[in-house]
Amino acid sequence: METVSGASNWKLVFRREGGGVTLLRAGTPDARAVLPEELLGLPVTALGDRALAPDRQTAPLPAGAETLQITCIPPEEGAAWDNRSLRDLTLPQTLKAVGDYALLNCSALSTLRIHDGVSRWGGGALMNCRSLDTLHLTRTGPDQGEALAWFAGELSRELDVTVYGPGGETARLLFPEYTELYEENCPAHHFDYFISGAGYPYHHCFRQKRLSLKEYDGLWRDFLGMEHDESAALRLAWRRLRWPVDLAEGAAAGYPAYLKEHAGEALRLLLEEGEALPFLLELTEPDRETLLDACALARERGATAALAALLEEQHRRFPAGAEKSFTL
């Protein structure tokens, strides 16, 4: 097997097809890995069926296939090149098609980084990717592709999505969780289908497989009227205000009102996520007790940058000198 240097460690089995390369198998021992965009001077245009499935990495070579090993920092001796440690995967910008069950059983994978040029996602491509909840999507042209609609429809769990636009704009969106359940109805000899969770409309706010941010924002009031996860609501509102791409006028008022009403919970949440606080403090104007509680939490966690912002806000709005009184 020929060995070349690259950005990540990979053992690849591939075939040259139609002016490009199809990866038939790709195995890595790395926790974070980037698949190459080019092999032997040809663009990587497709992932074959079960290409990254851990149990496929030792299968016999298909007829006409070639092999290549890419090395970066050598892995530990005895490390398995089977994707079982893979947590963060970047797919190539040149990719056009992903085969059936391409990421089958990549159970540790939590973050996927893709471009919006993939025109085909195979059946069961994400089957048993139970940790996958974060998607970074880069749009390569002015028109939306269908990738985000496919992911939102394929995964019912909470999704943290960052979309990078062609003009440098960034939108960070939360798609709350919902559950689907089939229950056997024995007397009627059929299965009943149930949907629960306030996140279902968010996963389906697409028109012709393109995301409508106007419709996304329009779901907010109904979402609050249903049983929902308060943490998800706080993060959803915060991200739409922090990255306000095409923010609808009505939502521009609804989101801050919710954050202001839940200022204490929002401060605690953002301390955990390590977000910058000045913008949130300006939006919510928390009372003194809320600020004191947030300062205590920041000290406890050693969040020095957050503590500095909180103390500055406390000093600005509740100066210590204002409390002093003198009796003559």
Residue 185 in any domain: the answer is yes
Which is it for the CA torsion 103, 104, 106, 110, positive or negative? positive
- Examine the domain organization and report whether 229 and 192 are in the same domain: yes
Residue 4 in any domain: the answer is no
* pLDDT value for 313: 92
Tally of domains within the chain:
2
Q: Which two tokens stand for residue 243?
A: 């990255």
Give 275's contacts (C-beta < 8 A, 6+ positions apart): 238, 242
On the question of pLDDT at 326 being above 50, the answer is no
Tell me the one-letter amino acid at 69. Q
- Examine the domain organization and report whether 217 and 196 are in the same domain: yes
Question: What percent of the chain has pLDDT above 90?
Answer: 69
Span 82-128, pLDDT tens digits: 999 999 999 999 999 999 999 999 999 999 999 998 999 999 999 99
* pLDDT value for 10: 97
Span 115-162, pLDDT tens digits: 998 999 999 999 999 999 999 999 988 788 899 999 999 999 999 999
Q: What is the pTM of this model?
A: 0.89
- Examine the domain organization and report whether 237 and 138 are in the same domain: yes
* Last residue within a domain, chosen from 241, 261, 281: 261
- Examine the domain organization and report whether 215 and 236 are in the same domain: yes
How far is residue 23's CA from residue 42's CA, in Å, rounded to a whole number? 12
Span 213-263, pLDDT tens digits: 999 999 999 999 998 999 999 999 999 999 999 997 777 789 999 999 999
* pLDDT value for 297: 93
Please report where in the chains the tokens 């600005």 appear, as a residue. Answer: 316
Burial of 278 (0-12, 13-18, 19+ CB in 10 A): exposed
Domain limits at 312? 263-319
Residue 142 in any domain: the answer is yes
Report helix, strand or coil for 42. strand
* Last residue within a domain, chosen from 219, 235, 261: 261
Mean pLDDT of the chain: 90
Residue 56 in any domain: the answer is no
* pLDDT value for 274: 67
Residue 230 in any domain: the answer is yes
- Examine the domain organization and report whether 254 and 275 are in the same domain: no
Transcribe 112-161 into DSSP letters. EEEETT--EE-TTTTTT-TT--EEEEE--SSS--SHHHHHHHH--S-EEE
- Examine the domain organization and report whether 140 and 251 are in the same domain: yes
- Examine the domain organization and report whether 226 and 138 are in the same domain: yes
Residue 39 in any domain: the answer is no
Give whole-number Cα distances, 139 to 59, 99, 169, 322, in Å: 35, 21, 10, 52
- Examine the domain organization and report whether 183 and 195 are in the same domain: yes
* pLDDT value for 107: 96
* Last residue within a domain, chosen from 261, 293, 311: 261
The residue-averaged pLDDT of 69-86 equals 91
On the question of pLDDT at 184 being above 80, the answer is no
Residue 34 in any domain: the answer is no
The residue-averaged pLDDT of 170-181 equals 91
Report helix, strand or coil for 281. helix
* Of 92 and 18, more confident: 92
The residue-averaged pLDDT of 313-326 equals 71
Residue 47 in any domain: the answer is no
- Examine the domain organization and report whether 253 and 279 are in the same domain: no
- Examine the domain organization and report whether 215 and 302 are in the same domain: no
Span 197-217, pLDDT tens digits: 889 999 999 999 999 999 999
* pLDDT value for 252: 79
Q: Is the distance from CB of 273 to CB of 244 less than 8 angstroms?
A: no
- Examine the domain organization and report whether 137 and 257 are in the same domain: yes
- Examine the domain organization and report whether 166 and 220 are in the same domain: yes
Tell me the one-letter amino acid at 58. T
Q: Which two tokens stand for residue 295?
A: 């300062």
* Of 326 and 244, more confident: 244
The residue-averaged pLDDT of 20-24 equals 97
